[in-house]
Amino acid sequence: MRRWRMPLGATLTLVVALALVVASCGSSGGGGGGGGATGAPQKGGVLNVAWQGEPSGLDPAIQYEVKSMGMENAMYDTLIKYAPAAGEAGTKFVPDLATEVPTTANGGLSADGLTYTFHLRTDAKFAPPVNRAVTAEDWKWSVERMMRLPKAPAITFYEGIVGAKAYDATNSKATEITGIKVVDPQTLTITLTQPDPTFLYKIAMNFTEVLDKATVEKWGSQYPHHPLGTGPFMFSKWTPGQEIVFTRNPNYWDAGKVWLDGVDFKFGAGSSTALLQLERGTIDVLGDGVPAADYVRVKNDPKWSKNLSGAPQIAWYYVFMNTKIKPFDNLKVRQAVNYAVNSAKLQKLLAGQGTPLNQIYPNGMPGYDPSAQFYTYDPVKAKALLAEAGFPNGFKTTFYTHNVDPFPRIAQSLQNDLAQVGIVASIKVMDQSSYWTLTMTMGNPIPLGLSDWYMDFPDPSDWVGVLFSKAQATMDGGENASWWWDPQVESLYAQSQATTDQTKRVDLFRQMQTIIMQQAPAAPLYQPVFNTMISDNVGGFYIHPIWQLEYQDYWKK
């Protein structure tokens, strides 16, 4: 996914173990909270969270934005979820509505890897005013509803379920997804067409969170603004442009582990204004994080530096080169662009919001190689490659970007880098939505552009299969903005899909990375770091490796 919009057809395959490295930026480490309230958790209080803009809605089948995901997790449940912890521990599965995580050892997964059995807890209920027990039929209905919604961004994730392709929003021929069976009110089975060890990752995503059918039908198209779930908090009110208020759900099955009385999400203030509000005591958590312009000041402040927390995101920012447009069809030109990037200057510009990245996989993604060094900043080498490519005096081009920070600032920095080696790039700035649409349109005029990519969940297929595959390079709406693909990468990718050997699979993805970096359809820039700050009144704070903010786990002094 991209941080600010929905993913388009990213298909994920087998999973390997993840070793997330969570850095601390002025905090106590491990992605945990710096400063804040200490001592035992306390019951009561309302957490005030600042976001610049409000979510487009709170329907987990549709809304897939950073801010909406955290809110949805606080209000809905699914069968299993990620553990409430920072770092690697937060990538492990724990039961949610299900009583256990299905495995072959406990009989929840069949020996052939095709059928999963989930037993639902008997004490889970929908929030008021529904107040009824959750059943297996509710989960089946929720998933089938999602698969029929034209705007649902993750339909392809679940097409491996038997009967799903015949039922989804594209086909809509079947009356049900036959691979989802309700055995009894507390038991359901899910059968796949072929083994998929990433399936539990998909089940743990927001898209399968359970909804109440009667409530959805009551509100119709307005449901995203009148949500109701089974989670720790319940929706109270939404004042457009101002705030969304959650209150404690009295029906929550694990209420003893929820400390807050509620959460008040406040919208409209700019990031620097929100920071001032936090320092004055009216805001508890910065949802958008610490603005880059204020980061150094806060980090050096004896009082507030202890309240900083930071963690690298499993994501990357990069320059893509359209290999269908001259001169970027020339390998040496693409390699020259990689050598032209001044990483040290970019780090100063980011002011703690990113770390250098010299490969396609970010730190924490299986396949990441800490010893890899494919390109270094070498303008002399870049000029030599341009001369070998037939451009001894460089050339002129257009560098595209959207208008949302930090893209414009990064583009200006890279414009200067390219000029140092003879590439004169004029910058064309577009609105964000139009820009993403254009990058995914076949035959577009973009020769050179900026992009980013955030994981859906931690598997390198979400990088190679989406950003550098033939399938994505030969379709409108694809995410391969370079329109580049390689037969050898395709072969290695196919092998990775057919093996469950984790060591072998990581090796295959590293081989793919080597080929991609040698062919240079993109120039890696950096791995973003999420830096945020809390007030002295917040306890239990940590940054989750998948969801960032997990409001239901925090407490207030």
Each domain of the chain, given as residue ranges in start order, spans: 59-221, 315-530
Q: For 106, list phi and psi in degrees, rounded to 5.
A: -95, 5
Nearest to 74 by CA among 324, 317, 264, 319: 264
Strand partners, 125: 133
CA 310 and chain centroid, separation: 16
With a CB cutoff of 8 Å and minimum separation 6, the contacts of 221 are none
Cα angle for residues 550, 140, 3 (degrees, 5° grid): 35
Between CA 500 and CA 106 the distance in angstroms is 20
What is the rounded distance in angstroms from the CA atom of residue 398 to the CA atom of residue 411?
Answer: 11
What DSSP line would sit under 292-319, residue for residue? Answer: HHHHHHHHT-TTTGGGEEEEE-SEEEEE
Write down the pLDDT at residue 33.
Answer: 54
Q: What is the pLDDT of residue 352?
A: 77
CA 174, chain centre distance (Å): 32
pLDDT attached to residue 500 = 67
525: its two tokens: 């820039």
| Contact present, 124 and 77 (Cβ < 8 Å) | yes
Q: Which of 519, 505, 450, 441 is nearest to 478 (CA)?
A: 441
> What is the structure's pLDDT at 31?
55
Average pLDDT taken over every residue of the chain: 90
Going by pLDDT thresholds of 50, 70 and 90, the confidence category of residue 34 is low
Across 24-173, the runs of DSSP E, i.e. the strands, are 46-51, 80-82, 93-95, 115-119
Contact call for residues 319 and 449 (beta carbons, < 8 A): yes
Give the per-residue pLDDT at 11.
34
**Rg of the Cα trace of the chain?**
24
CA distance 1 to 5: 7
Residue 246's pLDDT is: 98
Confidence of residue 404 (pLDDT cuts 50, 70, 90): confident
CATH class of 59-221: alpha beta
- Does residue 247 have a pLDDT over 60? yes
Q: What is the rounded distance in angstroms from the CA atom of residue 103 to the CA atom of residue 117?
A: 9
Structural contact between residues 536 and 71, judged by C-beta atoms closer than 8 angstroms: no
**E strand residue ranges, 163-232:** 180-184, 187-191
pLDDT per residue as tens digits for the range 349-377? 888 788 999 999 998 888 999 999 899 99
Instruction: Report the pLDDT averaged over residues 121-150.
Output: 97
User: For 248-261, what is the mean pLDDT?
Assistant: 96
Question: Which residue shows structure tokens 């601390």?
Answer: 24
State the Cα–Cα distance between residues 144 and 94, nearest whole angstrom.
24
Please write down the long-range contacts of 197-201, taking CB distance under 8 Å and 24 or more positions apart: 197/14, 197/15, 197/113, 197/500, 198/12, 198/13, 198/14, 198/15, 198/457, 198/459, 199/116, 199/160, 200/80, 200/93, 200/101, 200/102, 200/116, 201/12, 201/15, 201/457, 201/458, 201/459
Predicted pLDDT of residue 124: 98
Query: What is the band of 7 on the pLDDT scale with cuts at 50, 70, 90?
Result: very low
- Does the structure show a pLDDT above 50 at 23? no
What three-state secondary structure class fits 200? helix
The predicted-structure confidence for 493-552, as pLDDT tens digits, reads as follows 999 877 767 789 899 999 999 999 999 999 999 999 999 999 999 999 999 988 999 999
Q: Is 287 left (phi over 0), alpha (psi -120 to 50) or beta?
A: alpha
Write down the pLDDT at residue 21: 31
pLDDT higher than 80, residue 333: yes
Show the tokens assigned to 8: 């388009």
**Three-state DSSP class for 93?**
strand
Q: Is the per-residue pLDDT at 1 higher than 80?
A: no
DSSP calls for 413-448: HHHHHHHHTTEEEEEEEE-HHHHHHHHTSTT---SE
Closest CA to 417 of 506, 503, 307, 343: 343
Nearest to 165 by CA among 179, 184, 150: 179
Strands 448-454 and 285-286: unpaired
**19-33, 119-133, 195-209, 413-427: segment of lowest average pLDDT:** 19-33
32: pLDDT strictly greater than 70 = no
Answer yes or no: is pLDDT of 313 > 60.
yes
CB 365 within 8 A of CB 377: no
Closest of 378, 395, 415, 377 to residue 330, by C-alpha? 395
Residue 336 is predicted with a pLDDT of 98
CATH code of domain 315-530: 3.10.105.10
Helix (H) or strand (E) holding 223: none
Among candidates 196, 151, 192, which has minimal Cα distance to 170? 151
- pLDDT tens digit sequence for 35-91: 778 889 999 999 999 998 899 899 999 988 888 999 999 999 999 999 999 987 888
pLDDT of residue 125: 98
Q: Which residues contact 521 (CB under 8 A, 6 or more apart)?
A: 320, 321, 323, 334, 468, 482, 484
pLDDT at 16 over 50: no
Give the list of residues 6+ apart from residue 142 with CB closer than 8 angstroms, or none: 61, 208, 209, 210, 211
Average pLDDT of the residues in 234-261: 97
